[in-house]
Amino acid sequence: MGKESFARATRRMLSVALALGLALTFPGCAAGKSDSSPEERADLVVYLLEGRDTATQGIANVESSLRQLAATFEDAEGLSVEVRVGIPADSGVTADDAQRALNASLLAGDGPDVIVLDGLPLDRMAQQGMLLNLADARDLLLGSDSFYENILFGLGDASDYAVPTSFSLPVIEGSENLLDRFTTASDLVELVAVDPSAAEALGVDSGLSDLLAASYPAIVSHGTLDRRALSAFLENADTLLKAAQANYDRCQIALGEGGGDYDAVEYGIDALTTTASSASFSTCALFLDDATKLQIGSVDSWEVFGHLYLNQEETPYPCQFRPFRETNATAFTPLGILGVSATSEHPEESKRFIAHALAAEAQKNVQGIGIPVNETACDEFTRLWDGGYSILFAEEDGTTTEYRRDPLSPSEIEHCKELIASADTASLPDRVVVEAMADALRDYSGGNASLEETADAAAQKIDLYLKQ
């Protein structure tokens, strides 16, 4: 195919990250019982904040994985499982409304047994006694498998009340010469603001969800908002969005095509406010586009690790990847976080459901929405990709171009595990807080208000919510 704009290459992509030795599939949302009336209540009710239509999104997500998990648990335990979704796909329900409805159902005694806590105020729910303490059930939950314990028990004050089933890592990959010029996300933004060559080096994808993952632990900590960190995020996000838009427009002009079909702000905010899916690293930009020399993204599978190394093989310059940090902390995003309602009438069955979710067999099915927390399952993944990694593109004339590399070497696998082991701070974005941040960013990036005005307005909303 030759070197060309990543914008054009993206449109031509038939299949990204095809494994030569392994193909994983995710069933749709048929698995697990649909919502039912109290009279028809299932043996176990599992709650998820946000649904996502995989048929239209074309991505694996927590809901499809959860329904698959419910089906396998039903088969193993002989119990019926109902999956409730607080924000069904395309429903228009807000996160705040969904949280209020969840709280009302818990108070009424008709709440769920198991709660997927992604996007929910985990710390507050634990502090207010809404979640069952799981510390005495660790032997049951863990079984005999090995786990990435820094992730599994890395939820801070809530570590005794919930466990993630998978996780992702915000990462930046690119030219070693550029990576040597900054340390934190704010450092990168400062460089982009003053050096046009650094701005042009950024891929057209904004990396906004990854900036959020790196920044959120400083923005909200122990239920308290840091207004300065919020303002810094808004300013940094705006700079990255403007750079992304400029780079996309420049690509379109170079191709002789009109712009206007890409809105970096809305694209970034859409990614920012999606809690039901993990945003994977955008592969291949570094070697398909001569201009792109920095790419921000998330590692959410061992497959992505393989494609990061594929990038390094294909780029004509020294290329590395490292954690994308905002502070000295190395953030990770827990996914599929499971807890048990303190008012559940089926606490033992709920614990067994979580144990089922953490077991190696079930953990093999979270691949694609996060790296499994079960290290035993991850080790098996590294062996299963024995055919190497491949990325296939289609040309307009029907021909295809394939890029491929060998399986990860033992030293590469060890480097990936070291990166995982370095993760020390959970990023737990509360969907209500993030929606307030997204509204502020839209106003600021749109020129409707100053940074101070938008930060103040967002801070007022967030403070009010956090004090509830």
Domain boundaries, the chain: 6-20+167-332+383-466, 38-165+336-366
Query: Hey, do 6-20+167-332+383-466 and 38-165+336-366 end up sharing a CATH topology, with the first three levels equal?
Result: yes
Q: How many Å from the N-terminal Cα to the C-terminal Cα in the chain?
A: 56
Write out pLDDT tens, residues 47-102. Answer: 999 876 433 333 446 788 889 899 999 999 999 999 999 998 778 889 999 999 99
pLDDT grade, residue 34 (50/70/90)? Answer: very low
Q: Are strands 44-50 and 81-87 parallel, antiparallel or unpaired?
A: parallel
Report d(CA 282, CA 250) in Å as an integer: 19
**Closest-CA residue to 5 (of 297, 172, 173, 252):** 252
> Which pLDDT band holds residue 431 (cuts at 50, 70, 90)?
very high
Which CATH architecture does the domain made up of 38-165+336-366 adopt?
Answer: 3-Layer(aba) Sandwich (3.40)
pTM equals: 0.88
Helices (H), 261-314: 264-272, 285-288, 302-314
Selected residue with higher pLDDT from 206 and 160: 160
C-alpha pair distances (Å), 291 with each of 248, 312, 360, 455? 11, 16, 42, 33
pLDDT digits (tens, 9 = 90+) for 234-293: 999 999 999 988 888 887 766 666 555 778 888 888 888 775 444 556 667 788 778 889
Least confident of 256-270, 313-327, 408-422: 256-270
Return the bridge partners of 299, or none.
169
**179 vs 206, which has greater pLDDT?**
179
Structure tokens at 277: 């899916």
Alpha carbons within 13 A on the beta-carbon side of 252: 14
Residues constituting the chain: 468
The residue whose two tokens read 């057209």 is 204
DSSP state of 111: -
Provide the residue type at 287 as one letter. Answer: F
d(CA 282, CA 209): 13
Residue 87's SS3 state is strand
| Dihedral of alpha carbons 380, 174, 263, 332, sign | positive
Considering the domain 6-20+167-332+383-466 in this protein, what is its CATH number? Answer: 3.40.190
The backbone torsions φ and ψ at residue 28, rounded to the nearest 5 degrees and listed phi first, read -75, -155
More confident residue, 347 or 380: 347
Dmax (CA) of the chain: 64
Q: What is the pLDDT of residues 105-143, one digit of tens each?
A: 998 888 999 999 999 999 999 999 999 999 999 999 998
The phi and psi torsions of 13 (rounded to 5 degrees) equal -70, 120
